[in-house]
Amino acid sequence: MVDAGAQGFIHFLEGMLHFIQGDGPADTAVPSPVIEDSPREIPDQEVTNRYCTELFLKGRDMDPVKIRQMLEPLGDSVLVGGNTEKIHVHLHTQDPAEAAERLRPFGTITRQKIDDMKRQYEARYQRRARIALVTDSSCDLPEEILDEYQIHLIPLNLAFGENVYLDKLSIRSRRFYELLDEEPVFPTTSQPSVKQIEILYRDLAASYDSIISVHLSDALSGTCNTARQAAARVSEAKISVIDSKTLSTSLGLIVLNAAREIMNGSPHDEVVRKIGTWTQKVKILVSVRTLKYMVRGGRVSPLKGKIAGWLNLKPIVSLDAEGRSALTGKAFSTRSNLQK
């Protein structure tokens, strides 16, 4: 396995060697690598541990040796450097979410970088179409579908307090809902950086004839606009960035239909035209069982939340033609909402 990222990380570890062996001072400083500019890893053979994962922790009395021993069963190329207050972890694993969860008791996860080496390998050596299809992690499609159609997923950033995660990579849906009840702070989200998406587009442009990038509603997130900025930096490639004006399962349906068109050999412009038609036809309706989390997130006032709770009111939330959230109905039970 040729591992350029790990090779570069070895130079980082050399400066920490004395500390790890117990000879260095406790206040040894840890450099802050720029995650976005670190090399992307392309293996020279089929990968067994799919995700190249880098995690940065801060805390107190952390033990690099203990952390390494704890992570070794999760994969290979495990490298841990730092001191009692700052740690940089690198490993190849099938389950970066499990790695992040095991690291939580040691300290705060402040930064992450996770590359899907399987998808990188496919793009370079086993691409099944001439057009690359990209979406973001708000798109609800099973991993099996993403793999079948070689869809490239850009993770959104998710934070519980100071702990930062990459949606659907270092945190899974079940754990997210558990943390909603466990954590005192409400989670926040943020879009990927322009640089992160630019790197992906440049990699794909080297292997594909063109790129179609479909994202969640521009009215709900800056992700689509960020993708446009990234595409402008890769002007030599044919890249179409599309605002789906929706999210979740309805975005998944659009992306799935686009993937099928691409696999069937439809030309770039024809796929883009059809996506434009689908965005006008698709609609999502969400029956909200409880307003508790909308109150915590500030989208509903505490008073309105209490009144809705007393009345057992179940609102139906949707998106309008511009992709903005809109209340489209309400009932006094989830069953009544489903009947509507």
Domain-terminating residue out of 257, 282, 307: 282
Contact 82, 30 (CB under 8 A): yes
Are residues 165 and 249 part of one domain? no
Q: Look at residue 140 in the predicted model and tell me its pLDDT.
A: 94
Are residues 256 and 312 part of one domain? no
- For 38-65, write each residue's pLDDT tens digit: 455 555 456 789 999 999 999 999 999 9
Determine the Cα angle at 297 with ends 292 and 299, to 5°.
Answer: 90
Are residues 176 and 38 part of one domain? yes
Domain containing residue 222: 127-154+191-282
Distances (CA, A) of 162 to 35, 72, 104, 183, 256: 17, 25, 11, 11, 35
Percent of the chain with pLDDT over 90: 65
Are residues 161 and 66 part of one domain? yes
Are residues 196 and 177 part of one domain? no
Are residues 71 and 95 part of one domain? yes
Domain CATH number, residue 148: 3.40.50.10170
Are residues 114 and 103 part of one domain? yes
Angstrom distance (rounded) from CA 180 to CA 167: 14
- For 227-260, write each residue's pLDDT tens digit: 999 999 999 999 999 999 999 999 999 999 999 9
What is the number of domains present in the chain? 3
Are residues 313 and 202 part of one domain? no
Are residues 198 and 117 part of one domain? no
Q: How many CA atoms lie within 13 A of 118 on its CB side?
A: 17
Are residues 261 and 325 part of one domain? no
Q: Look at residue 302 in the predicted model and tell me its pLDDT.
A: 75
Sign of CA dihedral 20, 53, 230, 173: negative
User: Model's pTM, two decimal places?
Assistant: 0.81
- Greater confidence (279 vs 298) lies with 279
The amino acid occupying position 2 is V
Are residues 100 and 161 part of one domain? yes
Q: Average pLDDT for residues 110-118, to the nearest whole number?
A: 97
